[in-house]
Amino acid sequence: MKLKCRPEDFRVEERLDLRTRRHGRYSIYRLEKRGWNTLDVMRELRKRHGLRQLGRAGLKDRHSLSVQYLSATGKGPAFVSGKGYHLRLVGMRDEPIRPGMLTGNRFTITLRSLTSDEAKLVAKAFPTVTRDGLPNYYDEQRFGSARHGKGFVAKRLVRGHNNGALRLWLATPSAADDSRTRSRKTNLESVWGDWARCQEYADPEGAPVFRHLLQHPRDYKGAVQRIPREMVELFVNAYQAWLWNETLASVVERSVGATVRRRYLLGSFVFPGAPAAGEVRYLRKLSIPVPGPGARFTSDRVAACMASVLAREGVELGGLKTKVRLNGGRFKPIRRPALVRPIRADHSKPANDEMHSGRLRMTLSFFLPSGSYATLIVKRLMLG
């Protein structure tokens, strides 16, 4: 099976609680993009088109055809376009777009290069998954800042390892990086400590850090404080998400009789195999706080599982805070459902795949609430 052979094979469209009018302080845009992740296209819009104070509801990766909504201060142009993206003004409002406005996403996904057995597996598993749901793990996209496999930037910030956190962010290449990024990070890694030369290889995001270190070579705390807020939030969210995944995997193992597993970059997704009705009801009613100071538990089982995960990490709930005060560095203990169920779901019959001779394709369509991952649905279906 192959996924995301082309952007049109993975279409995602935001659904927002959004009302616009003819006048207001913010322009509201419908953004359609391919080949861009959300943060990169926002930087492009600031730099090339002068759009300011951009607000967004969700984050979409570059390996998709995605439709989402942005806000910008003032009355902006009716149309904005560039290679791989275009925006259309849909109205005005007095408040910017924020993450809390996102109600969910509608997905249309084409699976390609399926064997006959794989197509049968998907067709058989799809009704069960849409009926019972599946554990609501964060998928691997959430862990982009840790895809080098060397750990989490936020974990080092929690421990006060500021130099290590900076090096992990700026100078640790991964196999998943494109050749240009990998080369730049490798160069940074080789000259780390020579701040003048580091500036030659730095991304715009890292430039303020190296400028500061050029003037204050040992002030890693001050350098960390110059990490952009959006990046700090991504680092914190990635570490929280992994801790939550580990907690949920432990809860599933303790709550159901039979399980199936799927390895991923940083651990394993544990799914119920053939859960009994009572096991499904228990998981469906369960919500688990994302770990952070002030988290509250309604289940002793969940509390014990999270305590065990945190003990392995050498930290307690109250200690999940960066040693340096950072914009975007708060570990917010939001609650997240343990189980998610795709709704308004359907799938096509297998058909010949025009891109892969002798193989089949199938199209899945469904809606997921905000924060849930369509790619996880695909992974679960392929386990049968």
Domains of the chain as residue ranges with CATH: 1-6+107-128+342-384 (no CATH), 19-96 (3.30.70.3160), 153-230 (1.10.1510)
Around 372, how many Cα atoms within 13 Å sit in the side-chain half-sphere? 25
Q: Is the pLDDT of residue 257 over 90?
A: no
Contact between 67 and 73 (Cβ < 8 Å): no
How far is the C-alpha of 332 from the C-alpha of 335, rounded, in Å? Answer: 9
Question: For position 149, what pLDDT does the model report?
Answer: 87
**Burial category of 180 from C-beta neighbours within 10 Å (exposed 0-12, middle 13-18, buried 19 and up):** exposed
Q: Is the pLDDT of residue 169 over 90?
A: yes
Question: For position 279, what pLDDT does the model report?
Answer: 86
Could you tell me the sign of the dihedral formed by the alpha carbons of 277, 281, 283, 284, in that order?
Answer: positive
The pair of structure tokens assigned to 282 is 């228990």
Which pLDDT band holds residue 384 (cuts at 50, 70, 90)?
A: confident
Number of H helices, E strands in the chain: 12, 16
Which of residues 221 and 203 earns the better pLDDT score?
221
How far is the C-alpha of 137 from the C-alpha of 378, rounded, in Å? Answer: 13
CB atoms within 10 A of CB 265: 13
How far is the C-alpha of 157 from the C-alpha of 136, rounded, in Å? Answer: 27
Question: For position 277, what pLDDT does the model report?
Answer: 77
The string of pLDDT tens digits covering residues 52-109 is: 999 999 989 888 999 999 999 999 999 999 999 999 999 999 999 999 899 999 999 9
Contact between 119 and 350 (Cβ < 8 Å): yes
Q: Is the pLDDT of residue 205 over 90?
A: no
CB atoms within 10 A of CB 48: 10
Q: Is the pLDDT of residue 44 over 80?
A: yes
Contact between 317 and 295 (Cβ < 8 Å): yes
Is 300 assigned a catalytic role? Answer: no
The string of pLDDT tens digits covering residues 273-316 is: 887 778 888 999 999 999 999 999 999 999 999 999 999 999 99
Average confidence (pLDDT) over 371-382: 95
Mean pLDDT, all residues of the chain: 94
Contact between 30 and 63 (Cβ < 8 Å): no
Candidates 209, 224, 299, 314; CA nearest to 254 is 299
Contact between 57 and 98 (Cβ < 8 Å): yes
**Burial category of 376 from C-beta neighbours within 10 Å (exposed 0-12, middle 13-18, buried 19 and up):** buried
CA distances from 323 to 52, 143, 199, 306 (A): 31, 22, 26, 22
The pair of structure tokens assigned to 250 is 């432990």
Question: For position 295, what pLDDT does the model report?
Answer: 95
Which pLDDT band holds residue 331 (cuts at 50, 70, 90)?
A: very high
Contact between 343 and 104 (Cβ < 8 Å): no
Q: Is the pLDDT of residue 230 over 90?
A: no
Backbone angles phi, psi at 32, to 5 degrees: -115, 130
Which pLDDT band holds residue 238 (cuts at 50, 70, 90)?
A: very high
Query: What SS3 class is residue 29?
Result: strand
Query: What SS3 class is residue 73?
Result: strand
Indicate which residue of 9, 17, 40, 61 is catalytic: 61
